[in-house]
Amino acid sequence: MTPSQRPLPAPTDHDIDVGTTTRTDSTIATSLPRRLAGILHADIVAFSRLTHDDEDTAYRIVQERMALVSTIIKNHSGHVCDQTGDNLLALFHSAADALAAALTIQQQSEAALESTKPVTFRIGVNLGDVIENEGRAFGHSVNVAARLQALAPTGGICVSEAVRTAIGKTLPVRFDSLGDRKLHNIDEPVRAYVIGADPLMVLAPPQRTNDLRRGPTVAVLPFTTLERDPADSDFLGHGLAIDIVTALSRYRQLFVLAPHTSMALSPDPTSATVTGQKIGADYLVAGSIQPLGAGLRFSVQLIETQNGAYSWADQFDLDLSQLPKARDRVTTRTVATLIGAIEEGRLDRIERHSTPAAYQTLLQAKRLVYRMREVGDNQLAQTLLSSILRVDPHYAPALAIVALTHLTSVLMSWSTMPDHDLSLAQAASARALEIDSQDHLAHGIFGITSLWQRRFATAGIHLGEALALNPNDADTLAGQGLYLTFSGDPESGAACLTAAVERNPFHPDWYAWARGLAEYNARRFDRALSSLLSIARPTRFHRRLLSATYAQLGNLAQAKLECQQVMAEVPGYRIKDTLRIQPYQRQEDAADLMEGLRAAGFPE
């Protein structure tokens, strides 16, 4: 009998298995202590055979292994509730702690396989309410963990949907779905997952996988602190590092090592190359906190472990009165910038060294679409994306960027069938969401596509969902700014776009165009001009707005020069085309833009 199946003290005949029967004694039910816990159930594989072959040796080895397992559980803030000869039940404060312990147990077991009497485990992990009584645990959630253990492969781990949802991307593992499983004596089916065969173990150097989708691996070092109060320093430095790990984990294009790994690393960035090779990270994020007058200075660096080079660095000075909000502010300002720096570095490397990885190809396509220079860029991007989708038709980020290529064709007037291209954009982004409903990029592009189809409510819902999934993503914030502008709130739109530009110093030119449009619609024409002039290589898409802005500022000569350049490229352009393409919810909100275009000399 497993620990999870043992009865409550003084049981009746009908309540041996707490997980399948509702007790009718309400006094007992309400008096027993309950709490939410991560639950780990481990069972030794082929225990009977081990004892049959050599009972004394098997007993000694199993006792040694169980002692090691108990230590691992304790080190992950858990405690053993029950243990028999061949199985063990433990509780943890969280699902992440339970799964991290399970990974470490299996890692240690794998390392011991060379012994003459190897001991391997099957492990089940669940998250749910438990009843604790006299140091032991009971309940439906405990029973589910035991049943999941039975589904795990030899040396493997099986977890519930509750664990998968709670973990998200906080641990570097892959969840392979087993579907909904009917478990013995459990009324409702449970959706189960097996941890991938080659996970990046929490306490071991990550093993490279053949997953061509995978982006770079990032580890965040504990921030070094030189505070006056060491206790406060450690709390703030470690807390800030964990915040950044959590925020980076929302970017599904990255592989972010878990806090357990990061916090175990040396905070010395001078050993970046050695540290990175040891843990399999492509990039390290290092930082420091030091006193500065009456405040603090936060310094952050992004280090390439291949060569120890600093890809990006920044400093933030904050008054001590801002300390309660300091972690949020530094995290928000740091994370999106790190993403931009990583992608920019990867793109530079792509140009020097060809690579077949889907993530790298996706970055190439994304850059081509974002710069919006010529129809050939868009066509090349579609070719690159097609090469990804031929190999992996279920790669949601690639489908999302496909949708963006069709939307760009409409925006740049490259499309001969704009309604058809909008339909293709909608279909591609919808397919991306079907594959991965938690992909913030897919939600964002589906929202923008819906905006250009004048489905404003749908656009708002999906852009809001994208921000909820990843509030630090600059692209999503910029998309929200466009939505607000076209929905009649250009002031809020401009604020969103300004924040997006600040968060991503490597932002594409469309950020500046969108911010210029928001400022224009808010009748802040000088700010609109400043934003548009920041575009190093303006296209006709940008120049149309630039000419209208010059006209509103009274500089008709420069407005007409910009108009002439646009008309030289597209002689058939008319003002009504802009009114048709730009998705204003209310036509009166476009009046200022029409007025500027007319004053600049564009034909009706």
Closest by CA position to 110, among listed 203, 211, 209, 208: 203
Rounded distance between C-alpha atoms, residue 340 and residue 193, angstroms: 33
Question: Which residues, in sequence order, are CB contacts of 166 under 8 Å at separation 6+?
Answer: 94, 95, 96, 127
User: What whole-number percentage of the chain has pLDDT above 90?
Assistant: 24
Closest by CA position to 166, among listed 185, 141, 184: 141
Rounded distance between C-alpha atoms, residue 180 and residue 524, angstroms: 56
Is the torsion defined by CA of 429, 431, 435, 438 positive or negative? positive
> Quick one: tokens of 578?
């802009």
The single residue listed with the structure tokens 């700014």 is: 481
- pLDDT in the model for residue 456: 92
Rounded distance between C-alpha atoms, residue 279 and residue 203, angstroms: 9
Residue ranges of alpha helices (H) inside 119-160 are 140-151
> Quick one: tokens of 414?
């490259």
- pLDDT in the model for residue 71: 82
Taking 50 as the threshold, does the pLDDT of residue 445 lie above it?
A: yes
Rounded distance between C-alpha atoms, residue 152 and residue 106, angstroms: 12
Mean pLDDT of 527-555: 93
- Per-residue pLDDT of 375-423, as tens digits, reads 888 888 888 888 888 888 888 888 988 998 998 888 777 888 888 988 8
Q: How confident is the model at residue 262 (pLDDT cuts 50, 70, 90)?
A: low
Taking 60 as the threshold, does the pLDDT of residue 77 lie above it?
A: yes
Taking 80 as the threshold, does the pLDDT of residue 72 lie above it?
A: yes
Greater pLDDT, 589 or 372:
589
Cα distances (angstroms) measured from residue 460 to each of 30, 361, 445: 44, 30, 12
- pLDDT in the model for residue 489: 95
Question: Which residues, in sequence order, are CB contacts of 498 under 8 Å at separation 6+?
Answer: 515
Q: How confident is the model at residue 371 (pLDDT cuts 50, 70, 90)?
A: confident
Element (H, E) at 175: strand 175-181
Greater pLDDT, 294 or 512:
512
Closest by CA position to 202, among listed 299, 365, 349, 75: 75
Rounded distance between C-alpha atoms, residue 7 and residue 18, angstroms: 8
Contact 520/532 with Cβ under 8 angstroms?
Answer: no
- 41 phi, psi to nearest 5 deg: -120, 115
Q: How confident is the model at residue 158 (pLDDT cuts 50, 70, 90)?
A: very high
Q: How confident is the model at residue 284 (pLDDT cuts 50, 70, 90)?
A: confident
Mean pLDDT of 260-283: 64
The single residue listed with the structure tokens 């230590």 is: 71
Contact 560/601 with Cβ under 8 angstroms?
Answer: yes
The per-residue pLDDT of the chain, averaged, comes to: 78
Contact 166/245 with Cβ under 8 angstroms?
Answer: no
- Per-residue pLDDT of 106-124, as tens digits, reads 776 654 443 444 577 889 9
Q: How confident is the model at residue 261 (pLDDT cuts 50, 70, 90)?
A: low
Rounded distance between C-alpha atoms, residue 221 and residue 214, angstroms: 21
Taking 70 as the threshold, does the pLDDT of residue 80 lie above it?
A: yes
Rounded distance between C-alpha atoms, residue 214 and residue 169, angstroms: 13
Range in 34-48, 257-271, 534-548 the model is least confident about: 257-271
Range in 126-130, 338-342, 352-356, 491-495 the model is least confident about: 352-356
- pLDDT in the model for residue 236: 67
- 548 phi, psi to nearest 5 deg: -65, -35
> Quick one: tokens of 42?
């481990």
Q: What is the largest CA-CA distance in the chain?
A: 97
- pLDDT in the model for residue 233: 46
Rounded distance between C-alpha atoms, residue 556 and residue 541, angstroms: 19
Mean pLDDT of 252-275: 61
Phi-psi region of 486 (alpha: psi -120 to 50; beta: other; left: phi over 0): alpha
- Per-residue pLDDT of 209-249, as tens digits, reads 334 445 677 888 777 776 555 444 455 666 677 777 777 76
Q: How confident is the model at residue 474 (pLDDT cuts 50, 70, 90)?
A: confident
Greater pLDDT, 268 or 243:
243
Taking 80 as the threshold, does the pLDDT of residue 302 lie above it?
A: yes
Rounded distance between C-alpha atoms, residue 51 and residue 496, angstroms: 66
Q: How confident is the model at residue 519 (pLDDT cuts 50, 70, 90)?
A: very high
Element (H, E) at 160: strand 157-160
Greater pLDDT, 264 or 516:
516
Taking 60 as the threshold, does the pLDDT of residue 151 lie above it?
A: yes
**Mutual angle of helices 474-486 and 440-452, in 10-degree steps:** 20
Global confidence as pTM: 0.55
- pLDDT in the model for residue 304: 81
Rounded distance between C-alpha atoms, residue 551 and residue 541, angstroms: 16
Beta strands in 423-575 (DSSP E): none
Greater pLDDT, 429 or 355:
429
Rounded distance between C-alpha atoms, residue 520 and residue 505, angstroms: 22
Taking 50 as the threshold, does the pLDDT of residue 14 lie above it?
A: no
The single residue listed with the structure tokens 């053993």 is: 80
Three-state DSSP state, 91? strand
Taking 90 as the threshold, does the pLDDT of residue 593 lie above it?
A: yes
Three-state DSSP state, 530? helix
Rounded distance between C-alpha atoms, residue 484 and residue 557, angstroms: 32
- State the DSSP code for 376: H
**Domains contained in the chain, CATH given:** 3-195 (3.30.70.1230), 217-349 (3.40.50.10070), 356-471 (1.25.40.10)
Greater pLDDT, 215 or 493:
493
- State the DSSP code for 372: -
DSSP for 194-208 reads EEPSS---TTSPPPP
